[in-house]
Structure 1
Amino acid sequence: MTRIPGAVLTVSDRASSGGYADRSGPLAVSLLAAHGIDASLTVVPDDPAEIRRGIRAAIKQGARVVLTTGGTGIGPRDVTPQVTAEMLTLALPGVVDEIRRRGAEHVATAVLSRAEAGIVTSTKRPSAFVVNAPGSTGGVRDAVAVIGPLAGHLIDQLDGGDH
């Protein structure tokens, strides 16, 4: 099986300042690895420019799958979905619909996630799949359970593979 280059971007003011130990990011890296995705981990604050820079840097370094964790709620600093949506060339709403559905089986507030998922294209690099996950370990588990089995097919399709 060919390994897929990936990246995890934890979006958290507290984790980026050292005031909180990031648990969701390392978990995402581990769970993605079980699906053939080798992901690096970066932590950034809940700042639109930092989130955008983190996603762009991951893609520039060759990531084909970028999972963000955190910043998907309804708080005033939760801006990850807006930033992601601005970057997407093609939205894949069914992916985050399924993540929310799975989460709501265990936690009713999972339906409040404003996560986005889709494709970011570039003229200089291969296209990448970007998906937002909640900042909780449960939200990361739900997200990877959905995207992990899809990743190989998704990348194959982005590279011109047949259905």
Structure 2
Amino acid sequence: MTDATDQRNPRATVITVSDRCAAGEAVDVSGPLAQQMLVEAGWDVDVVVVPDERERITWAIMGAVEEKSRLVITTGGTGVGPRDVTPEATASLLNPEVPGIAETIRSVGVAVLPQAMLSRGRSGIVDGALVVNLAGSTGAVKDGVPVILQVASHVVSQVDGGDHDRLRTNQ
């Protein structure tokens, strides 16, 4: 007999970081787009909106992890503006940092839009969950979520003690 929990999709949380969306002055479009893409890939997804405040971002990430999200994607607050603090809020939690994911996302984005190189997004593990920062545009979500989905399930397996060999098909 299979345990009912074995049938559930993995949990993910998308955190939109935006002063204007948090204040109700703008409509969040990047968060729902990320949610749609993750749902289509088999994840159960919540979307949270917080202002560009380091403490609120940190709390949102930790709250998602405490609620058993295995993947947390932030959108917004990764640029060079004075209120862009998502990378700092995230970096304080990462253990370990996994820079290759963020580097690949930047690389993919730059091929479409040179300004993507200005994103300071981070990626890594927070208490068993993969956490990745994306810029706050729909373009960044369209470019970044597929990169994340290439490795998210493997990362979750690895932090749970899984084997590397399941990805090796030609050896």
Runs (5+) with no aligned partner, structure 1: 122-126
Residue pairs, 1:1-163, within 5 angstroms: 3-121=9-127, 127-163=128-164
**Alignment: residue pair count:** 158
- Shift >4 Å, 4+ stretches: none
Q: Is the 8 A contact 1:102 1:142 kept in 2?
A: yes
Q: TM-score, structure 1 length as denominator?
A: 0.94
Cα deviation, residue 105, structure 1:
0.9
- What residue is the counterpart of 1:124 in the other structure? none
Deviations 1:108-136 (A, max 9, x none): 00001000000012xxxxx1110000000
Runs (5+) with no aligned partner, structure 2: 1-6, 165-171
Identity %: 47
Q: Is the 8 A contact 1:71 1:80 kept in 2?
A: yes
Root mean square deviation of aligned Cα? 1.0
Cα deviation, residue 2, structure 1:
5.7
Larger Rg, first or second structure (1 or 2): 2
Cα deviation, residue 149, structure 1:
2.0
Aligned residue type for 1:14: R
Q: TM-score, structure 2 length as denominator?
A: 0.90
Give secondary structure in 1 for the equivalent of 2:112: coil
Q: In 2, distance between residues paired with 1:105 and 1:136?
A: 16
